[in-house]
Structure 1
Amino acid sequence: MLIKLSKHIIKHFILILRSFILFIHHSFLITPSHDCFIYNLKNFVVIIHLYYILR
């Protein structure tokens, strides 16, 4: 049970991490400025929260 759960969490964590890296990469390509990056980061966090709530 616990092993299954931890595998599930790790899988989701890797998926989020991967999308996060891609996201950062894209936000730097589009907007190199620091303010925009922080703004995008906040949006990304909101998206993750919504994903977990709706799941």
Structure 2
Amino acid sequence: MSPICEECARLEREKEEARQAGDLSKVTDCAVLLKRHPDHSKRSALSGKGRA
């Protein structure tokens, strides 16, 4: 398993803190940002599609 990037870790922490605080809107926001964040396990497969 590859190590988690700093941005993923930050978003996961924020999501958990928001969940504990009952801020479901922020939980959703963090989940969306995590989903949009690049999939690190597929980085090499994406390199030929216009992004390095």
User: TM-score of the superposition, structure 2-length normalised?
Assistant: 0.40
Higher relative contact order (CA 8 A, sep 6+): 2
Structure with higher helix content: 1
